[in-house]
Amino acid sequence: MKTLFQIGCLWLILLCEIKAIYGSNLTVGDAKNLDHVSISLLTLGSDEFLYSSWGHSTLRIRDDLSGTDITYNWGVFDQNSPQFLWRFIKETLPYKLDVLPTKYYLGFLLKLNDRRIVEDKIILNDEQKKILLKKLSWWMKPENQYYHYHSYKDNCSTQIRDLLNETLNNQIKDKYENRQTSQSWRTYWQNYFLHWPITKFAGDLVFNKKIDKKISAWEEMFIPDKLREHLVSYGIARPVKVWIDIPALQTPGISAITWFAILFLIPVGLFIWSTTKNSKRLIRISLALLCLIWGSFSGAFGFTIAFISLFTERDYFHFGANSWILIILDWWLIWPSWKLFRNQTINTKILEKIGITHLIGIAAYLVLWAAGSIEQDITIPMQSIVPACIIFSMILIFVERRKKLIA
């Protein structure tokens, strides 16, 4: 698949060159009579790449009179832009509108043949078409092509939603803004990132309560499939053609929680077994593994939560409930782990204090949750991180009580 992706990148470069050469000649014909102009929505399913897990939406404009057929794509970003990765994480990476001949755009996608592509005709009268084309002309000006991307509020799908809503004098928003769904941003994150279990797991730990708000049907149109569903349901769009019909990505067999449990419970089991056998060597090895695993895991996520909370502009990343139990200082545990592997003496009193501190943090976490003060969904941490933290903390306290076992 890596080779295919590289081929895809070459294709995109070629398409950009085509646009640069012919972009200025792409028109929609005579604006006085627009019966010959058709407008359609192209909806792409999700694929295996992280940045396209939501799917994708583009707008197709075809003018049978002039023979032009072009696609407007609000999902373009420059991977070579300065500080690309950091700006992508912060969601401050500028996205832009790109315009390509549809035959090349669809040709590229059909050649890949790796995601579902559906086309729906947008039903507009001549006056509404004029309004839409005028707005697209505004977007085509170089100073207007860039926008501030937001995963849930400002992406390729919401740009088309807003454009059609403005064209129809706010009809779409009036109909769907107050229609509540049973879904939240988090449930969509969980559903659309099943094929990225580590990313899904990480998001559940880092996101705060802002992501758990039940959203309206208007807001859920950030998902291309939902935009299409609502436009068809409302009668603004009519199915025309399924270019590629392949099933959605399948759920992986082993979740990140399962992998975490396996990774954590093996050294726990080894520690318990080695204490019954009074094997100092195995006790040291299993304790070293536990300190290494928890120190790396908690330290990394504690750092991520603190770092993103301080520097990102997205409020759904700002210090959530899980910052009570995942702290950057746990990275220190890698040091006693290293010493245990090298059969050196460690300070078990400090380990005991770390264990007690974590138990206090867990107790506060559970009390706040029981009192209803934690408003975010903590199902995933309660299933995995909380039990692991309790077990690990009790082991650290036990080691101080029975320090002769590793002396």
Q: What is the pLDDT of residue 310?
A: 78
* pLDDT digits 0-9 by tens, 136-170: 999 988 888 888 888 888 899 999 999 999 999 99
- Average pLDDT value for residue range 74-80: 74
Structure tokens at 266: 């093996």
For 84-109, the pLDDT digits (tens) are 566 666 666 778 898 989 988 888 88
Per-residue pLDDT, 18: 45
The pLDDT tens digits for 29-45 are 445 678 789 999 999 98
> What DSSP line would sit under 12-46, residue for residue?
HHHHHHHHHHHGGG-----TT--TTEEEEEEEE--
Q: Which two tokens stand for residue 352?
A: 């005991």
| SS3 assignment, position 251 | coil
Map tokens 């300070």 to a residue.
347
CA-wise closest residue to 75 among 156, 133, 178, 139: 156
pLDDT tens digits, one per residue of 114-145: 788 999 999 999 999 999 999 999 998 888 88
User: What pLDDT does residue 84 have?
Assistant: 58
Measure the CA–CA gap between 172 and 176, rounded to whole angstroms: 6
The pTM (predicted TM-score) of the whole model is 0.80
Q: Tell me, what amino acid is at 205? A: L
Using the 8-state DSSP alphabet, how is residue 150 labeled? B
User: When comparing pLDDT for 379 and 171, which is higher?
Assistant: 171
DSSP-derived 3-state class of residue 214:
strand
Report the distance separating Cα 315 and Cα 115, nearest Å.
32
Angle in degrees, 0-180, between the axes of helices 185-192 and 197-206, rounded to the nearest 10: 160
The answer to whether 161 touches 217, Cβ cutoff 8 Å, is no
Region 175-182: what's the mean pLDDT?
A: 93
**What residues pair up with 61 in beta bridges, in sequence order?**
39, 70
Structure tokens at 334: 């890698």
- Above 80 in pLDDT, residue 19? no
What's the whole-number mean pLDDT along residues 37-63? 86
The structure tokens listed for 156 are 């390729």
Closest CA to 321 of 373, 370, 268, 280: 373
Joined together, the tokens standing for residue 219 give 């807001």
24 has pLDDT over 50: no
